[in-house]
Amino acid sequence: MCGIVGYIGNRDAYPILIKGLQRLEYRGYDSAGVAMLNKAGDLNVYKRKGKVSELVAFAKDKDLGGTVGIGHTRWATHGEPNDVNSHPHYSQSKNLVLIHNGIIENYASIKEGLKKRNHEFLSQTDTEVLVHLIEHVQVHENMKLGHAVQAALKQVIGAYAIVVMDKNDPDTIVAAKKGSPMVIGIGEGDFFIASDASPIVEYTKNVVYLDDEQVAVIRRGQELKIRNLKDKEITPYVHKLTIELESIEKGGYDHFMLKEIYEQPRSVMDSMRGRLNAHEGEIKMGGIVDHEKKFEKAKRIIFVACGTSWHAGLVGEYLFEELARVPVEVEYASEFRYRNPIIYPDDIVIAISQSGETADTLAAIELAKSKGATVLGVCNVVGSSIARATHGGSYTHAGPEIGVASTKAFTAQVTVLTLMALHMAKVRGTVSETRYRQLLYEMEAIPSKIEEVLKLNDKLREIAYTYKDSRNALYLGRGVSFPVALEGALKLKEISYIHAEGYPAAEMKHGPIALIDEEMPVFVIATKGANYEKVVSNIQEVKARKGKITAVVTSGDKEVKEMADYAIEIPQTDELLVPLIAVIPLQLLSYHIAVMRGCNVDQPRNLAKSVTVE
Ligand code: G6P
């Protein structure tokens, strides 16, 4: 949800800002804008509806000078995505400019107050109100920018990550955050500010993560100063970034999504590395070791998550119930937080999030903590807000995921949840040694089985071609493959805009069967296992109504292969681990269909990768 960048130092700010915005574009692409303060003291603002590339084309012939500047890529909340509502926004006198990620909830009342003092607003945004408020405080209280920001933010309810520049103070920029992420990179005599580390890593590995209600006053060539809203000085803690530049570039692939699909053998392996040792029959997970007693005693596990991460939670439900014999609930974070849910101190709440920044998931965590539950995180982004807000947990180590449609993060989440479930089962004594060992060996073999599935890419492209003009699609699965059906449908609808639904195969006859005709593609996960015969019957029900079946089957399958229009054979594995392999062909099918339809695969319309508003 909105990406922000800033730079102050000795280099030209504009190219740094634009490159940073391109790296952050996954966070929103409704509009983009920059502001630079040039040598002559002019504060130039350029902003445009649409992608960063449109801003670049627009700004081409303009004055782009300046060694201090800020930039923003927007996912619209207040006000439609147009040039006027784009960031940066000016203050009343046009001396200040500000960029903002988040929502100012009480902006309407602040706006009314400022209007009475003759402030005039050009846009419909909450952001413009904030920059006017800062200037009002600065002028009326005769404060420097840093203190004015502090004082103004005390009046604000909501979430923000902001960066402000003052025309009259060209050697300073001020950044502050609450609820939305903000990282400051410390270079040699210069500073880089961004919503995440991806725009920074190219220049420096030394970063400071701002905490909520902290304000950073960043002065050219001086030390970074951080204060909280109560004016207490905070000593910055410098982290070393571990991500590498290559991991956030396309590396020869046409799209990030395709690259990330192909990275899965490695990302699954990395999520197990140092944790699983099948030979020794061991699972070691440093981030949960302190909570083992809780695992032993837990009466219930509650997963909270959104989107694809919620689907990973559904897979987790099957794993934890089957292996650790503990009741599981899987909650949409957005519903959970507003429902006055019943949470006991002996519940374990597991928050799953790729970005570690999803606002609803973060709020659900705070709620669970306030009721005394143990809260663990399964996050991909190291140092993210959710990783820091939880009592413990495990990172997924999938590496940066840039494509808006989540792929490798899902399989990494399922990998970590599988390890957690197996570990909990062992601690609780609910799994036999033989089954435990067998599953550990099966887990170790998953990366090479994913490798096998990726070899089916050409065949999947051919199948995609036959379905590229479909208007609807149905995905069916049973048991642990039901969440895979949901995930397959989500992948298709989010990147190709074909309406798709995932359904438990047997439920089909209670509704979706009415939609089936010769036009309707039906994707079924029909791998060998306890439900196989039942799924075969469901396939027959579809065939009887002339539906087109594409089935994901276990290698060597004959029965379904004969019935299906297309069969995709995947390697045999333990039934509980099928999601890790079966989801791969569905990701590739969606990818190819979207490409053939001319859709923007990495940045689908209206979506954003990191949803930091509720
Ligand atoms: C957005 C993204 C999805 C993601 C969901 C949850 O909708 O487009 O890909 O699954 O947010 O995000 P999280 O970072 O919490 O996993």
The pLDDT tens digits of the residues spanning 146-159 come to 999 999 999 999 88
pLDDT in tens, 305-324: 999 999 999 999 999 999 99
Query: Is the distance from the beta carbon of residue 147 to the nearest atom of ligand 1 less than 6 Å?
Result: no
Question: What's the pLDDT tens digit per position in 410-435?
Answer: 999 999 999 999 999 999 999 999 99
Type of residue numbered 495: I
Long-range CB contacts (< 8 A, 24+ apart) of 231-240? 231/147, 231/150, 236/184, 236/208, 237/208, 237/209, 238/186, 238/206, 238/207, 238/208, 239/206, 239/207, 239/208, 239/209, 239/383, 240/205, 240/206
Q: In the predicted model, what is the mean pLDDT of residues 335-354?
A: 93
Q: How far is the CA of 461 from the centre of ligand 1 (A)?
A: 26
How many Cβ atoms from other residues are within 10 Å of residue 57's Cβ? 12
Give yes or no for residue 456 having a pLDDT over 80: yes
**Amino acid in the structure at residue 274:** G
**For range 165-173, the mean pLDDT:** 96
d(CA 72, CA 25): 9
Does 355 sit in the ligand 1 pocket, CB within 6 Å? yes
Find the mean pLDDT for residues 223-246: 91
Q: What pLDDT sits at residue 242?
A: 82
- Tens digits of per-residue pLDDT, 26-39? 887 889 999 999 99
- Nearest CA residue ID for atom 8, ligand 1: 609
Distance separating alpha carbons of residues 225 and 233, to the nearest angstrom: 8
80 pLDDT more than 90? no
Mode of pairing for the β-strands spanning 472-477 and 521-525: parallel
Query: Per-residue pLDDT for 77 more than 80?
Result: no
Q: What whole-number percentage of the chain has pLDDT above 90?
A: 82
CA of 403 to the centre of ligand 1 (A): 11
User: Which helix (H) or strand (E) covers residue 490, if one does?
Assistant: helix 482-496
Structure tokens given for 513: 């069967």
Amino acid in the structure at residue 267: S
Q: Rounded to a whole number, what is the distance in angstroms from the first to the last CA of the chain? A: 10
292 in Cβ contact with 427 (< 8 Å): yes
CA of 25 to the centre of ligand 1 (A): 15
Q: Name the E strands within 250-404.
A: 276-277, 282-283, 300-305, 328-332, 347-353, 374-379, 392-395
**Over residues 367-390, mean pLDDT:** 93
Q: Which residue has the tokens 């903000």?
A: 182
- 158-170 as b/e: b if 16+ CB within 10 A: bbbbbbbbbbebb
Mutation choice for ligand 1 from 330, 358, 404, CB with most ligand atoms inside 8 A: 358
Question: What is the structure's pLDDT at 81?
Answer: 80
Query: 251-290: buried (b, 16+ CB within 10 Å) or exposed (e) per residue?
Result: eeeebbbbbbbbbbbbbbbbbbeebbebeeeebebebbee
State the pLDDT at residue 284: 92
Strands 172-178 and 158-166, by their bridges, are: antiparallel
Q: What is the largest CA-CA distance in the chain?
A: 80
Higher pLDDT, 278 or 29: 278
The whole-number average pLDDT for the span 213-220 is: 96
**Range of lowest pLDDT (75-89, 393-407, 517-531, 532-546):** 75-89
Question: Given this model, what pLDDT does residue 577 score?
Answer: 98
The pLDDT of residue 30 is 87
Contact 310, 352 (CB under 8 A): yes
Q: What is the pLDDT of residue 478?
A: 95
Among the atoms of ligand 1, which is closest to the Cα of residue 307?
Answer: 10
CB 271, CB 396: distance < 8 Å: yes
CA angle 145, 148, 154 (to 5 degrees): 145
Which strand (E) or helix (H) includes residue 13?
A: helix 13-24
| Arithmetic mean of pLDDT, 349-354 | 97
On whether the CB atoms of residues 24 and 198 are closer than 8 A, the answer is yes
Q: What is the pLDDT of residue 1?
A: 67
Cα–Cα distance for residue pair 286/42, rounded to 1 Å: 53
Closest ligand 1 atom to residue 409 Cα is 16
Q: Is 413 in the pocket of ligand 1 (CB under 6 A)?
A: no
Q: Is the CB of 439 under 6 A from ligand 1?
A: no
Is 353 close to ligand 1, i.e. is its CB under 6 Å away? yes
Ligand 1 centroid–CA 410 distance in Å is: 10
Model pTM score: 0.83
Locate 602 and state its tokens.
Answer: 């990495």
Percent of the chain's residues with pLDDT above 70: 100
Torsion of CA 104, 371, 332, 417, to 10 degrees: 120
Q: What angle do CA 53, 103, 309 make, to 5 degrees?
A: 75
Residue 606 pLDDT more than 90?
no
Nearest CA owner, ligand 1 atom 5: 307
Active site members: 2, 609
pLDDT score of 79: 73
Q: Dihedral angle at the C-alpha atoms of 599, 603, 607, 608, nearest 10 degrees?
A: 170
Question: Is residue 597 within 8 Å of residue 343, measured between CB atoms?
Answer: no
pLDDT band of residue 144 (cuts 50, 70, 90) is: very high
* Ligand 1, atom 3, residue with closest C-alpha: 307
Using left for φ > 0, alpha for ψ between -120 and 50, and beta otherwise, residue 232 falls in beta
10 Å CB burial of residue 514 (0-12, 13-18, 19+) is exposed
Confidence of residue 106 (pLDDT cuts 50, 70, 90): very high
E-strand stretches of 59-171: 68-74, 89-90, 96-104, 158-166
606 backbone φψ class: left, alpha, beta (φ>0; ψ -120 to 50): left
384 CB less than 6 Å from ligand 1?
Answer: no
pLDDT value at residue 609: 78
How far apart are the C-alpha atoms of 192 and 6, rounded to whole Å?
6
Q: What is the band of 245 on the pLDDT scale with cuts at 50, 70, 90?
A: confident
Summary mean pLDDT of the chain: 94
Amino acid in the structure at residue 554: T
Q: Look up residue 61 and give its two tokens.
A: 């012939």
Q: If pLDDT is split at 50, 70 and 90, which confidence band does 102 have?
A: confident
Question: Counting every residue, how long is the chain?
Answer: 614
